[in-house]
Structure 1
Amino acid sequence: MRRALGIAALLAACSAVPAHAGRSCEDKPITQKAFSDAMAAGLGLQSALEASGADVALVARQGQDLSKYHLKYSHAGLAFRPVPGQPWRVYELLNDCGTADSELWVDGLANFFLDDPFTLDVLVMSPPPKVAAHLKEMLADPATLRRLHQLKYNMVAYPFSTKYQNSNQWVLEVVAASEASDVRVRTREQAQGWLKLAGYQPTEMNIGPLMRLGGRMFKANIAFDDHPSALRFSDRINAVTVDSMQAFLQSREEGWRVQEIKGPR
C-alpha cells in the first residue's frame, strides 16, 4: 500500500490524488500485464536487496526516457526494512499530480514500478555499513525526514536552493545527512552546505528557450526562478540526477556497491 508520511500515515490514510515523480497526469487503468510486470520487477528488486546484506539502499527506476540528456534513470527512492524478515518499503518524494505540491510516500516494491515506467530496469546502490546505520536511523524517524522535505515541488529544482525540491534532491539530502559524520545535518541548508564542501557536482543540461518558457508557463511543477541567472539566461539548468548521485557517492571511495537489474521485457 502507498501511504504518506506524517499525519496521513498516522491515520493509515491513502491520498485520493494520484502522485507522480515528474510524469504525466494521465489516469489510465492498470492492465494485467503492467501489474504482472510490476510484481516481477518488485520480486527481482527484493532478491537483490536481500542479497546485499543491508537493510537500506538507494534505488532508482527509469520512469521516463531521458536519453536526449544522456541519462537513463530518472527517479530515486530509499528502500528500507526496519528489521530482517519484515517487508521492504520504498520511501520517496512524489508530487501531487498537476500541482506544485509534494509529499513523502511509503511504497511497496511492486508499487515502485506501477507508475507507467519507460522500462522496468532498476539501479540499486548499497551503502557502506556506517552510512547504512545512519540511514536506518533517519528512515525510522518521520520527523527527521520531514525536516529535510520542502512542500513546494519543482521537477528541475536547483540543487543548492531550498525554494523548491524534487524527488532526487530529497533523496540526496537525506543521504548527505547520513554521510556527514563530522557535523550534524538537521536542515536542508546544512545538507546542501555539506554537499558543496564534499564536492557534489549536479548534472548540467542544455535546454532551449522555448522549452524553458513553455515549462514555466504551462507546467505547475516546473520553475526556473531558483536557478542562478547566469544559467537560466544561457538556457542551462543544473539538477540532481541519479547519474550525479552515483558519481558523487562512488567518488567518496567508502564502499558504495552499485548493481543494475534488468526488468522483465
Structure 2
Amino acid sequence: MPAQGRAGTGCDAQTVSPDKLAAAAQTALTVAAALDERDAPLALVARVGTDLSKQGLVYSHVGFVVRDHPAGRWTAVHLLNECGSERSNLYTQGLVNFFSDQLVNQDARIVWLQPEQAQRLAERLRALPRNDLHQPRYNLIARPGSAEYQNSTAWVLEILGASLPSGGADSGRGGAYLAAKRDGFVPDRVHIPYSKRVLGGLFSANVAFADHSIGTRLSGDYPVVTVRSIVQYLDRRGHVVAQREWRNGRLMEPLGAL
C-alpha cells in the first residue's frame, strides 16, 4: 500500500515545519504509550484533519491502529483521498506520519473494542489487500452503503461491519454495510445548503452530489458516515471497552464531544 496521501486535499509540495513535526511526534508518543498500556491488538484512532465545527463535529478522520503489523509495532491503516482527485487508496503509516498530515490540531481519541472483534479486525488488516473492501472512487460525502463511491469513514464502517459475526469475513462491501446497519449503525446528517454547492466551501472538493437522491439534494440534509456516528454506534451497541482522549495536549476526563 502507498505511504503518502492526503485526506481530501491536494498534494502540493510542502515541508512540515520543525514545530509541527515535533508536535506530531509528541502526539504519536502519547498515543503509542496509551496503546502499549492495554493488551489489545487493535484500536480506532481519530484525528482532526478538517475543521467541522460548523457541522457540530470535532473529529474528521479515523483509522485503525494495528499492533505488530508487518509495517511496524503500531501501524495506522486507513483510507485517504489521492491528492484531491476522485480516487482513493489504502495507506499504512507510522503514528508520527498519521499525525503530521496538515492537521487542524493535535487532538486525538482512542477507541478500544471488545477483544474478539479487535482480534478479527487485526487479522484482517494485517492480511490486506486481501478482502480490503476498497472502492477507489472517492466521494467526500459518500452515501452510506453506496456501491459507486466510498470515503475514509465509510471504509472503516464497512470493515467493522465485516468483523461482526453476522457480517461474514467475505461478505463484500454491501453485506458489510448491511451487517453494521442491522447491528444498529445510524448515519449522521450533514446540512449542505444549495449556496455551498454553487459557490463552494467545506465540501467543494471531490464531491459527487449525484450519489444521493434528488430528495436529499433538494433538502440539503445529506446522510454520511462520520467519526461521531461510528463511535456512538460502537459505544451504544457495547462494542467499546474503553476510550481515551487528548485536547490541546491534555488528557480529557470526562471525554469531550465527537
- What TM-score, normalized to structure 1? 0.86
What are structure 1's unaligned runs of at least 5 residues? 5-13
Name segments (4+ residues, structure 1) moved above 6 Å: none
Indicate whether 1:199 and 2:188 are aligned.
no
Match 1:98 to one of 70, 84, 96: 84
Partner of 2:166: 182
Indicate whether 1:65 and 2:51 are aligned.
yes
CA contact (8 A) 1:203 1:239 kept: yes
Over the residues paired in the alignment, what is the CA RMSD in angstroms? 2.1
The 5-angstrom pairing of residues 15-94 of structure 1 reads 19-82=5-68, 87-94=73-80
Structure-2 change in CA distance of 1:257 and 1:145 (3 Å): farther
Q: Comparing 40-49 with 229-238, which one deviates more in the overlay?
A: 229-238
Partner of 1:8: none
What amino acid maps onto 2:94 in structure 1?
G
Per-residue deviation at 1:26? 4.4
The 5-angstrom pairing of residues 237-252 of structure 1 reads 237-252=222-237
Per-residue deviation at 1:77? 0.6
> In the comparison of the two structures, how many residue pairs are matched?
246
Per-residue deviation at 1:145? 4.3
CA contact (8 A) 2:28 2:95 kept: yes
CA contact (8 A) 1:81 1:89 kept: yes
Match 2:213 to one of 228, 232, 252: 228
Partner of 2:253: none
Structure-2 change in CA distance of 1:222 and 1:234 (3 Å): same
1:139 partner SS: helix
Per-residue deviation at 1:129? 0.6
CA contact (8 A) 2:190 2:221 kept: yes
Indicate whether 1:126 and 2:112 are aligned.
yes
Structure-2 change in CA distance of 1:183 and 1:77 (3 Å): closer
2:131 & 2:29 partners in 1: Cα distance?
27
Partner of 2:155: 170
Per-residue deviation at 1:260? 0.7
Identity of aligned residues (%): 35
Per-residue deviation at 1:196? 2.1
Per-residue deviation at 1:23? 3.3
Structure-2 change in CA distance of 1:130 and 1:100 (3 Å): same
2:104 & 2:83 partners in 1: Cα distance?
18
